[in-house]
Amino acid sequence: MKTYPFQKLFPVFLLLAMAFFAGRGFAEFVENLRGIQEQHKETIMVSKTQGAVTYQAQELQDGTGITQQQENQENLALLQSQQTSASAQLQVLTNWPFTLDSPLLPGTENWGLGFGTAGSKPAGNATPEEMKTYNAYYVAPGEERKIYLTFDCGYENGNTEAILDALKKHHATATFFVVGHFLESAPELVKRMVAEGHTVGDHTYHHPDMSKISDLATFQKEMDDVRTKFFEVTGQEMPMYYRPPQGKYNKENLQMAKDLGYATFFWSLAYVDWNVNDQPTHEEAFSKLTSRIHPGAIVLLHNTSKTNAEILDELLTKWEEMGYAFGNLEEITTLSTSP
């Protein structure tokens, strides 16, 4: 068959075109990466004294659960996912150097997530199946469009009532993980949580790095002191739900929590809402909380966030319009133990 000169050159033109468009995408990725790296250089240091408790954002002493660096790393994971094909969906996991044959390491780990496509469940430090061996959870099994709302309560600064009002309006229940200081300083709000059907969980009394505690008695005391104070305030036993302060854990204290009868709950969606001196705009909050929502999401929010109090009613409406309903954490433990 006779060939013409342009036929010989066609593969060259095709390769040049592919390189041109790939180069444009890579350049955009590099530019976004540089922006994230610039954000990393900013130092966040916020102090707030409430009674005898000092909250320092840099050290996560207010129960942040997710740092600005983690948020940036998650953004980086999203950018990286856009640069990969559908056949290569493995994501960079925040602060997680594990290997596939060692899903849970003995040292302290920060709970982290790697996001893929919008609306899909993120990957955690370990799979749901691996976490379940420790009675620990970060996302509900299955594809039911249900959201599990959780709030970490380090202290009260005037936003919790609005949060409770929005939940009541939407007939939605949530789990509030409280520390000892919140029980001491806001007992009436705790009573209202219980009266309106919400769950109150254990976030430890003093909010320490529990992964540094190797003694079972000391570990248990941090948990028991919250339970004792909760009973004094409400006259009820506290549900056996636990969230590790700062998201710090290791397999030994996950096992200790399990041995004490607790279910441990991490999260599959969070954003930087905890810095009271640098609150996200409504637009920023909606962007993160709607684009990353997914079936079975355990959402971590903070009661100290002014933004959360202001947007929650509208946010719940938006999620409902997206086809989501709201569940409680007990459903996850039940689903996870079903055959």
Active site positions, annotated: 152, 302
Helix (H) or strand (E) holding 136: strand 136-137
Hunting for tokens 């607790």 — which residue is that?
A: 262
Cα–Cα nearest to 250, from 41, 95, 118 = 95
Tokens of 32: 């976004």
Residues 6+ apart with CB under 8 A from 339: none
End-to-end CA distance of the chain: 64
Residues 6+ apart with CB under 8 A from 249: 108, 109, 111, 210, 211, 264
Q: What type of residue is 12?
A: V
Cα–Cα nearest to 149, from 261, 272, 312 = 312
The answer to whether the CB of 272 falls within 8 A of the CB of 71 is: yes
Report d(CA 95, CA 65) in Å as an integer.
Answer: 13
Hunting for tokens 């590099």 — which residue is that?
A: 30
DSSP-derived letter for residue 102 is: B
Cα–Cα nearest to 338, from 122, 132, 130 = 132
Tokens of 20: 């041109």
Residues 6+ apart with CB under 8 A from 148: 140, 175, 296, 297, 298, 299, 326, 327, 328, 329, 331, 332
Cα–Cα nearest to 181, from 171, 190, 173 = 190
The answer to whether the CB of 214 falls within 8 A of the CB of 252 is: yes
Hunting for tokens 């929502």 — which residue is that?
A: 293
